[in-house]
Amino acid sequence: MNKPYLMCLAVALLLLSYSKPTDAAARMPATKTATTVTDYPQMIRLSGLPVRVQEEVIELVAQKYGVPSGIITREANFFRDLMGDYLDYIELIKSVEDHFNIEINDEDMDKIQTVGQLIDYVKARLLIP
């Protein structure tokens, strides 16, 4: 092979290695690397996806109070209707805080008496309309 041909081949290979991405590659969305999201409320706010807060809260209530989730209504009172004591209520609040990664302060905890109030409180903390 002659020297000019090798030089042209080398330059062509060099240009190919530094070329711009193809049109198809430029149109593809950038992929995100997998990350661990520890801020559940922030994730909910950013995702824009609907959240099943009501179903999740009712399931947590059913687990803590030992009743079927199908009979729990928004109007159910934790003490009167679900026959729980204050310790059951504290454990429920802790499990809700852990599940949704939110904090329920003592003043608000004393105001929450029904399942519906708890659902509304969680939605407000997660900024869900």
Q: What is the CATH number of the domain that holds 83?
A: 1.10.1200.10
Mean pLDDT value across the chain: 76
Alpha-carbon distance of 69 to 45, in angstroms, equals 27
Alpha-carbon distance of 91 to 95, in angstroms, equals 6
Which range of residues forms the domain containing residue 119?
A: 40-125
On whether residue 9 sits in a domain, the answer given is no
On whether residue 47 sits in a domain, the answer given is yes
46: left (phi over 0), alpha (psi -120 to 50) or beta: alpha
Residue 85: active-site member: yes
On whether residue 16 sits in a domain, the answer given is no
On whether residue 106 sits in a domain, the answer given is yes
Q: Which of 5-14, 20-29, 47-56 has the highest mean pLDDT?
A: 47-56
Return the half-sphere exposure (C-beta side, CA atoms, 13 A cut-off) of residue 102.
Answer: 22
Q: Choosing from 23, 85, 106, 110, which is the catalytic residue?
A: 85
Per-residue pLDDT of 70-120, as tens digits, reads 999 999 999 999 999 999 999 999 999 999 999 999 999 999 999 999 999
The H or E element containing residue 42 is helix 40-47
On whether residue 30 sits in a domain, the answer given is no
Cα–Cα nearest to 59, from 118, 127, 102, 106: 118
| Count of domains for the chain | 1
Evaluate if residue 42 carries a pLDDT over 80: no
Average of per-residue pLDDT across 34-40: 43
On whether residue 18 sits in a domain, the answer given is no
On whether residue 105 sits in a domain, the answer given is yes
